[in-house]
């Protein structure tokens, strides 16, 4: 059985195909102007002669992410919170807390030992603590997002960024650049400030081990380091790209839905 999960975020689109309890194929692309265009572009990458996969072979598709309601091929749409929890628990059933930082929101999810949602907190009203915040800072520093996470690795005393608001924080960073402060010190300060905000939010749900860090920001090694220290946890190593966790969860739900359909048909 081949099923799919599509996660349309504000910055990236992700698709995962699941077959026989294994990830058959996945793809991550930069988001296009609309969710529909992002989905169409994903399909071009996933369904073609090179992959040998056809859309008609996929028996069920579930959509998630902020653009989930704009995916015409999805038979069902599910919230990112449910999908990230489902995906992380499938990867490692010891995981009890998931920290997911995407392009426009940050979520901290706590799971029960049975893999059910126990509690969560979400920030979606402010860019601070999201991938968009990092994009703004990387642009100011004229570095890539990857470089933003690594250039400050050896800095012992990061720049102290006082403002929580991303707009005022960006002004602080611009001033620091004008003052001649080294980019690595500023980058370390940016990563520490974001980790500090996420840690404060995470503590509201009483973080329980084991902890997984998912989403695109999980690839920022500076934030991983600072957040780990602030929460006094060691993040679980994930055998998949942390950015596709929501799409994995969506694909798992797609499989459940399809199996349920098959059972109902047999019972008739």
pLDDT tens-digit readout, 92-145? 999 999 999 988 889 999 999 999 999 999 986 676 778 889 999 999 999 999
Q: Does domain 1-92+239-268 have CATH number 3.30.420.40?
A: yes
Domain 95-237 carries which CATH code?
A: 3.30.420.40
Cα 149 from Cα 142, distance rounded (Å)? 13
Candidates 257, 240, 221; CA nearest to 78 is 257
In this predicted model, what pLDDT tens digit does every residue of 33-56 receive, in sequence order? 999 999 999 999 999 999 999 999
What is the pLDDT, as a whole number, of residue 125? 62
DSSP character at residue 235 = B
pTM for the structure as a whole: 0.92
Task: Tell me whether domains 1-92+239-268 and 95-237 share a fold.
Answer: yes
Across the chain, which distance is largest between two alpha carbons, in Å? 74
Where do the domains of the chain lie? 1-92+239-268, 95-237
- Token pair 């250039």 is found at 151
Cα 250 from Cα 16, distance rounded (Å)? 8
What's the start-to-end Cα distance of the chain, in Å? 21
How much is the average pLDDT of 156-171? 91
In this predicted model, what pLDDT tens digit does every residue of 64-96 receive, in sequence order? 998 999 999 999 999 999 999 999 999 999 999
How much is the average pLDDT of 221-242? 96
Lay out the sheet containing 117-123: strands in order across. Answer: 117-123, 106-111, 97-101, 211-214
Pick the range with the lowest mean pLDDT from 128-137, 192-201, 202-211: 128-137
| Average predicted confidence (pLDDT) for the chain | 94
Assigned token pair, 64: 């998630």
């Amino acid at each position: 059985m081949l099923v799919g999960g599509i996660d349309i975020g504000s910055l990236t689109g992700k698709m995962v195909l699941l077959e026989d309890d294994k990830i058959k194929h996945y793809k991550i692309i930069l988001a296009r102007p609309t969710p529909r265009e992002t989905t169409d572009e994903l399909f071009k990458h996933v369904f073609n002669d090179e992959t040998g996969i056809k859309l008609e072979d996929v028996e069920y598709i579930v959509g998630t992410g902020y653009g989930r309601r704009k995916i015409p091929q999805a038979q069902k749409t599910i919230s990112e919170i449910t999908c990230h929890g489902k995906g992380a628990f499938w990867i490692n059933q010891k995981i009890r807390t998931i920290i997911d930082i995407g392009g426009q929101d940050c979520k901290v999810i706590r799971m029960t030992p049975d893999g059910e949602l126990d509690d969560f907190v979400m920030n979606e009203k402010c860019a601070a603590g999201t991938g968009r915040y990092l994009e703004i800072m990387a642009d100011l520093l004229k570095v890539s997002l990857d470089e933003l996470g690594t250039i400050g690795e050896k800095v012992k005393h990061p720049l102290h960024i006082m403002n929580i608001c991303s707009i005022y924080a960006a002004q602080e960073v611009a001033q620091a650049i004008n003052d001649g402060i080294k980019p690595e010190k500023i980058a370390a300060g940016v990563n520490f400030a974001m980790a500090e905000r996420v840690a404060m939010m995470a503590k509201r749900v009483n973080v329980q081990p084991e902890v997984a860090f998912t989403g695109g920001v999980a690839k920022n090694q500076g934030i991983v380091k600072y957040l780990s220290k602030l929460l006094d946890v060691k993040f679980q190593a994930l055998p998949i790209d942390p950015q596709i966790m929501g799409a994995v969860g969506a694909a798992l739900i797609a499989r459940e839905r399809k199996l349920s359909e098959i059972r109902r048909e047999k019972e008739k």
